[in-house]
Homo-oligomer: A and B are copies of this chain.
Amino acid sequence: MNELTIEGYLTELGKKEGTPGGGSAAAYIASMSAALIRMVADIQKDKKAYADYSEEITQALEASHALRKAFEQLAKDDAVAFEPVLMAYKLPKGTDEEKERRQEEVQKAIKGAAQPPLEMLEKSHDLIDLIEQLTRMKMKGTIVNDLMVATLFVGTVLETAVLNVTINTKLLSDANERNALEKKAIERLSTGKQRISQLRQTIEYFLEKNEWPESI
């Protein structure tokens, strides 16, 4: 899918066939956030003012690239994640034994379908880590704007991923399993939103005053 042109991907996304859907789109937004983080690190890399951070910047370059790739993979995983659920629903349900087996397979497949968005929630926190790290370097100029954009993008990824977890977990018959997965997703969303809100406040401070707050 990552070899599609943007044009081609958007056409697929707009078709009534369910895949790719919003989950893959969210993963690409995360990849774009990672790419913007990489761009910021790349711009800082050769500037003398950040020579003290040279090792950290090299690490951020690598980490942001790896995250971009991980989210591209998640876009692909998400696009096919519901297929096993549809397959499982097609299993025979003539005998009690068949019904039981079908039910087990369906539930297993649903848990599988919730995995890509759960993974997106986890990895969104890795993106936030990187943005926080770059923010602490107190850089100057228009690249700060790009850090803000990267931050905004992660917020949308978190919210979309939670929707895509719960759309699956709703179908789980085991209330304990359902609650455990939903609780995890909501915890990742809520801590993520707090971190993003803090980041936005810090970056907005810079964008308004052209200097960083004392305590970051």
Q: What residues make up the interface of A, taking CB atoms closer than 8 Å to B? A: 1-7, 9-11, 13-16, 21-22, 25-26, 28-29, 31-32, 34-36, 38-39, 42-43, 45, 64-65, 68, 72, 142, 145-146, 148-150, 152-153, 155-156, 159-160, 163-164, 166-167, 207
Contacts and interface: CB of A to CB of B under 8 A. Distances in A.
A72 B6 CA distance: 9
A68 B5 contact: no
A2 to B, nearest CB: 5
Given A4-B6, A9-B6, A39-B14, A25 B149 contact: yes
A14 B68 contact: yes
Contact of A10 (B16, B35, B153, B156): B35
A145 B167 contact: yes
Contacts of A21: 36, 39, 146
Contacts of A155: 156
B25 A39 contact: no
Given A152-B159, A156-B155, A156-B156, A15 B32 contact: no
Listed from nearest, the 4 A-B pairs whose CB atoms lie closest are A22-B149, A14-B35, A16-B42, A14-B38
Contacts of A159: 152
Contacts of A6: 1-6, 9, 28, 31, 72
A164 to B, nearest CB: 8
Contacts of A152: 156, 159-160
Nearest to A75: B6
A74 B210 CA distance: 29
Given A9-B6, A42-B16, A167 B149 contact: no
A10 B25 contact: no
